Amino acid sequence: MQIIPPVEAAVARLVVELDHDSLPPEAVQGARRLMQDQLAVQIGCASLPWSQTVLNLTRNRHVPGAAHVVFAGDTMSAADAAFVNATFGHGFEYDDAHRASSSHPGSCVVSTALAVGEEIGASMRDVLLGIVAGYEVYTRIGVLAAPELLERGFHPHALLSAFGAAAVVAKMRGLDLEQTTHALAIAMSHCAGTTEYTSSGGSVKRVHAGIGTRNGIRAAEMAEAGITGPTAYLTGTKGFYRTFVGREVGPDAASAFALGAPFEITRVWIKPYCCCGINHAYIDGARQLADRVELIDEVELGIQTGGNVIVGTSNANAYAPRSIENLQYSLPFQFALSLLGLGNGFSTHRAFMDGRLDLSDGSRAAELAGRVRITPKPELDTAHPGKWVADITVTYRDGTREHLFVDSPLGTSENPVSQADLDAKFRDLTVASMGEERSEALLRAINDGDDGMPAETMAKLLLI
């Protein structure tokens, strides 16, 4: 067996030694909440144009298999089904987020675990364990890469998905320590994807989850077949952290992957707004100001360095969104939509995409967005590591000023949505497609279902 460095060895042990019986109840509950939110988003976003394009493309080129595509019902290999389902799940900026790594693990780990579960005849108990394993590897690697990964222009989800999917497969297929190490090492060779879509658009952003997920599954399959990767794939002189993040991660970082470390899946961020999560704290602040919108003369939004790259002054179309990608990553317009009471949810963004919401020059929203000034404040990075916060200063027409600060936006683990609100989001995304009776049956199966239920049974509840 090759020598495996301490950090990489700790990652492999996390996957191999993780056991369902030792999971804390809050981790299992986190996995169930994540699954509920992600599967609802997959169903609700399956009919979006890019989702249908990916589905039709895959139908023409898929490998036969037993895993189901959500909504459509096609059966394919686990890699192909998860590719489509993860694309559905990340298709409209409404899927879960993880603050500390600036990423979206759910579309990757839920899609992979359910598809692999169908392929190998696993139970939902196995699926939930796979979700936790993938989530922990994905996010713990990501936390150590933050904030530089985002600041350098990479899309963290595009890079981390390959690791997450490979970890799910390694856990569910019972790969040993050496095979798991190689699965994750091979996954590193699939890391790619930048955030240029925030400026010049491109629906490929919607497919980043699917690309990383399918590649991570294939990486684990390669390792199981005997292909090997560089064992220092994270900490080597040309490994992930030095190459993508620009700094060294030492052997003491192995503690981040210890089984006794806090479970990141207990910190799932359920999005109440259908846009980039960096906007959410500002949206919460704007909602507090909506009753005084006519009195506002100017707004200054202090922003963190990484946030500025994505939704701020480094976003070429922040003040003139021409595409749905531009709008969902425009802080000035998301703030204006909230101030005006137009909403920041699924229906608002569909209305813009379908030409039913005018945000062109001269519109009320554009005029208000033009009064928003974005000021990068690096000191916010130091004061609030691992968080996306909103520093808001409003100047009113009479010259008075008001300051608001939001550090725990709605949906984060510090300010979670209630189960009732999570259920309401689920119904909003699923009832129109599958009807109230089937939507409720699916919701019960997710929340109260027997862990011994076959993954195939759960998958069939997702079909229209």
What is the spatial distance between Cα 388 and Cα 384, in angstroms, rounded to a whole number?
8
Q: Residue 241 above 70 pLDDT?
A: yes
pLDDT digits (tens, 9 = 90+) for 289-343: 999 999 999 999 999 999 999 999 999 999 999 999 999 999 999 999 999 999 9
With a CB cutoff of 8 Å and minimum separation 6, the contacts of 379 are none
Per-residue pLDDT tens over the stretch 161-194: 999 999 999 999 999 999 999 999 999 999 999 9
d(CA 93, CA 408): 19
Q: Is the pLDDT of residue 6 over 70?
A: yes
For residue 247, pLDDT over 90 is answered with yes
> CA 144, CA 7: separation in Å to the nearest integer?
11
Q: What is the pLDDT of residues 373-398, one digit of tens each?
A: 999 999 999 999 999 999 999 999 99
HSE-CB of 70 using CA atoms within 13 angstroms: 33
Q: Is 300 helix (H, G, I), strand (E, B) or coil?
A: strand
What local confidence, expressed as pLDDT, does residue 448 receive?
87
Q: What percent of the chain has pLDDT over 90?
A: 98
- Give residue-wise pLDDT tens across range 119-170: 999 999 999 999 999 999 999 999 999 999 999 999 999 999 999 999 999 9
Question: Would you say residue 25 has pLDDT above 70?
Answer: yes
* Other CB atoms within 10 Å distance of the CB of residue 35: 22
pLDDT value at position 464? 84
Spell out the residues 6+ positions from residue 169 whose beta carbon is closer than 8 angstroms to its own: 112, 116, 175, 183, 216, 217, 220, 221
Residue 187 · residue 165 · CB < 8 Å = yes
Structural domains in the chain?
6-267 (1.10.4100.10), 277-406 (3.30.1330.120)
How many residues in total does the chain contain?
464
Q: Give the mean pLDDT of 111-115.
A: 98
Cα 211 to Cα 219: distance, rounded to the nearest angstrom? 12
pLDDT category, 1, cuts 50, 70, 90?
Answer: low
CA gap 317, 200 in Å, rounded: 8
- CA gap 221, 140 in Å, rounded: 23
Pairing of the two strands 401-406 and 390-396: antiparallel
Q: Contact 131/168 with Cβ under 8 angstroms?
A: yes
Token readout for 200 is: 């010049």
State pTM to two decimals. 0.96
Please answer whether residues 200 and 155 qualify as being in contact, where contact means their C-beta atoms are separated by less than 8 angstroms: no
CA distances from 350 to 145, 275, 296, 344 (A): 33, 12, 28, 10
**pLDDT at 445 exceeding the cut of 70:** yes
- Taking the C-alpha atoms of residue 131 and residue 110, their distance in angstroms, rounded to an integer, is 6
pLDDT value of residue 2:
78
Token couple for 158? 């595009």
Identify the bridge partners of residue 405 per DSSP, sorted by sequence position. Answer: 391
Residue 322: per-residue pLDDT: 92
pLDDT grade for 13, boundaries at 50, 70 and 90:
very high
Q: What is the mean pLDDT of residues 59-67?
A: 96
Q: Residue 12 region, left (φ>0) first, then alpha (ψ -120 to 50), else beta?
A: alpha
Which residues have C-beta within 8 Å of that of residue 460, sequence separation ≥ 6?
68
For 346-420, list the strands marked E by DSSP: 372-376, 390-396, 401-406
